[in-house]
Structure 1
Amino acid sequence: MPRVIAANDPKAIGLGDLVDIVETGRFDARDEACFASFGPALGDLAANRDFLADIIVAELKDRCRSQSVRNAYGPQVVMLHAGRNFIVRANFWPAETDPVLQENGPEAFFYHRPHDHNFSFLTVGYTGPGYWSDYYEFDYDACVGAVGDAVDLRFVERSRLSRGKVLLYRAHRDIHAQLPADALSVSLNIMERAPHIGYRDQYGFDVSNGVISENLTETAIEPLLAICSQIGGENARDLVETYAAYHPSERIQFAALTALASTCPSIDARIEVFAQAARRSAPFVARMAARQCAAINAGRHWITRTAH
């Protein structure tokens, strides 16, 4: 369950005030107590009932030029500020009866998709009744992270992000399955911003069966490794081998191994790449490589038949 932050008697402040508080307060997302200490200030911003509408009106008058440049999240999000190590944003949560949800489906708003986060963030209910969540916790360090692996999910409660409620979602600990708000709602976030976040794993979960259902982390590196291995020659192969051996993210290591295996001249050579990787000490790489060996062997007849 995300940590509930007391926001007693909030006093309305502006967005600029919040930014000043965070920037001058030695914000450190790795320190839970430090991150939580900015929760009351976010609650104070939520007490300002005019600032968000003013920003949206200004954006519309300017044809959303600022959002087009700064916002990588899509139309559900309004980017409010991007600092060196944090961002502030607003999120819109439609109700089940709202046309935008009926036309695009709940998946477009991440409803009914249990997931954790690979970053910590503060959130507060700004307007509307707030989206619902089924909350779980898990032990990230005990998790290898392969799709299909069993995970000890501990259900905590179902509750909603009501207006003025401030929560700290803790990276790699809190899981929630978001459910549609009863009416259109808006939340505000202070989010950790760091270049290494893309290398941290974020998971989707099948809570009914207690397993990891998907890895949600995406970077541009994985497809580039695949292309590089195919068309880059020996220099590119050396680079991909370096990624496979030394990259700090096991997910990226395995992507590089997969790219190398794809260039092998035979099925047996491809299997050997994964067989060697299956003996590594890195648990995610070893688990995924062993699965690839089994999958290739199981499909050997069809692969050979297609090749001929």
Structure 2
Amino acid sequence: MALSIACPNDAVMSIEDYLEYVLDEVDVSDIDAIAASAPALQSLGNNRDLVADIFNQNLKNFLAGGRTTQYSPQSFVIGGKRTDKKMFFVRGNVWCPIAQQAAMRALEERVFSYHIAHDHNFHFMTVGYYGPGYETDIYEYDHAKVQGYVDEPVELRFLERTGLPRGKVMLYRPSVDVHLQLPPAELSISLNLMVLEPQLQARDQYFFDVDAGRIAGLPYSAAVFQRNTLIQLAGHIGNARTAELLHRLAASDSNRRTRVAALDSMVRLAPPGVETVLCGHADDADTMVRTYARTALDAAEQPSALAHLRGGLGLSYRQEVSTLARKGLGEALH
């Protein structure tokens, strides 16, 4: 289960020292090594000037007409490192109480991702920095047993409801732990160590309906889906050269969803020979690719089946609100 790590200490660490420590001392591909580094994250959380200094710098940037470190409507990037072997960053998350009015409440719950059960395809460790913190319900599931379709049944096992008060450290396992946050009683801030590994980021992420035990949707802000939005848009406004490029992606890309998105966009563009391409994938080793190819080949006789499959695969051009402001992430990773 997601680990709650007790590591009380009074040490204080700067963001510069923390980043260097993780870069030099922590094997960020090893969850045990990340867990062992929890006291350092707590020491960073003990730095009571950390967030104030970030906000002060942003206020200076506003005054000077410069850029901010905004990452999403509720998040801000504090710093990060990228080398040939490691890529990680520290993020601050703001958690607000939500409005009592029904209309505003629904909007704010979406913005702050409250009551939305989801997993992550990366390691991340978090510490409560300010305020009472949110409460979170934690589940686990077996990623290997999931095919990845919207509305697919998933066995979710409830583990606990816990909180993230100031000083508490928690570590989440990629593609295992599922959690949903509940609004805090008062304004709260958490700090997250986010570890980016290409192999893990190629995995699917999901939203879950924990009551029904099903996949409720796909987080289009996740890295695995972000580039596919370009591929899907190409299926609406592409040309003959686009079809050639899509054909190459469908044949050679290592990610199954990218291959399916490329095939679907080819079907939408309908270039000469698209049926031959689909036939070539009808016996593909990957179940998702194979199912899409066969369903698309039968679309003339069963168009509703293709429409239903597209819905289950999330094959529509969409962007989550949280993808609209990501410039600060690139600036922080150096």
Q: What is residue 18 of structure 2 aligned with on the other side?
A: 18
Per-residue deviation at 1:29?
A: 2.9
Q: What is residue 186 of structure 1 aligned with on the other side?
A: 189
Q: What is residue 214 of structure 1 aligned with on the other side?
A: 217
Relative to structure 1, the CA distance from residue 67 to residue 123 in structure 2 (aligned partners, 3 Å threshold; closer, same or farther) is: farther
Per-residue deviation at 1:46?
A: 1.0
Distance 1:64 1:293 in 2: 58
Contact 2:131 2:188 in 1 (8 A): yes
Distance 1:66 1:219 in 2: 29
Decide which of 248, 253, 265 is 2:254's aligned counterpart: 248
Query: 1:28-71: per-residue Cα shift (whole Å, max 9, x none)?
Result: 33211122222110011111222211221221122188994654
Q: What is residue 55 of structure 2 aligned with on the other side?
A: 56
Q: What's the TM-score once normalised by structure 2's chain length? A: 0.78
Higher normalized contact order (CA 8 Å, seq sep 6+, divided by chain length): 2
Unaligned runs of 5+ in 2: 308-334
Q: What is residue 320 of structure 2 aligned with on the other side?
A: none
Contact 2:73 2:111 in 1 (8 A): no
Letter in 1 for 2:205: Q
Letter in 1 for 2:21: I
Per-residue deviation at 1:293?
A: 6.2
Relative to structure 1, the CA distance from residue 196 to residue 153 in structure 2 (aligned partners, 3 Å threshold; closer, same or farther) is: same
Q: What's the TM-score once normalised by structure 1's chain length? A: 0.84
Letter in 2 for 1:76: Q
Between the aligned residues of both structures, percent identity stands at: 34
* Comparing 269-278 and 85-94, the one that deviates more: 269-278
Unaligned runs of 5+ in 1: 304-308
* SS in structure 1 of the partner of residue 226 of structure 2: coil
Distance 2:148 2:208 in 1: 11
The reply to whether residue 280 of structure 1 matches residue 279 of structure 2 is: no
Relative to structure 1, the CA distance from residue 65 to residue 132 in structure 2 (aligned partners, 3 Å threshold; closer, same or farther) is: farther
Relative to structure 1, the CA distance from residue 48 to residue 240 in structure 2 (aligned partners, 3 Å threshold; closer, same or farther) is: same
Distance 2:9 2:167 in 1: 10
Contact 2:62 2:68 in 1 (8 A): no
Q: Equivalent residues in 2 for 1:49-128 (5 A)?
A: 49-63=48-62, 68=67, 70-71=69-70, 73-84=71-82, 85-97=87-99, 102=105, 104-128=107-131
Distance 1:296 1:183 in 2: 56
Aligned residues: 295
Contact 1:120 1:192 in 2 (8 A): yes
* Comparing 194-203 and 84-93, the one that deviates more: 194-203
Distance 2:258 2:179 in 1: 26
* Comparing 32-41 and 82-91, the one that deviates more: 32-41
Q: What is residue 306 of structure 1 aligned with on the other side?
A: none
CA RMSD of aligned residues (A): 3.0
Letter in 2 for 1:13: M
Distance 2:294 2:135 in 1: 39
Relative to structure 1, the CA distance from residue 49 to residue 265 in structure 2 (aligned partners, 3 Å threshold; closer, same or farther) is: closer
Per-residue deviation at 1:202?
A: 0.9
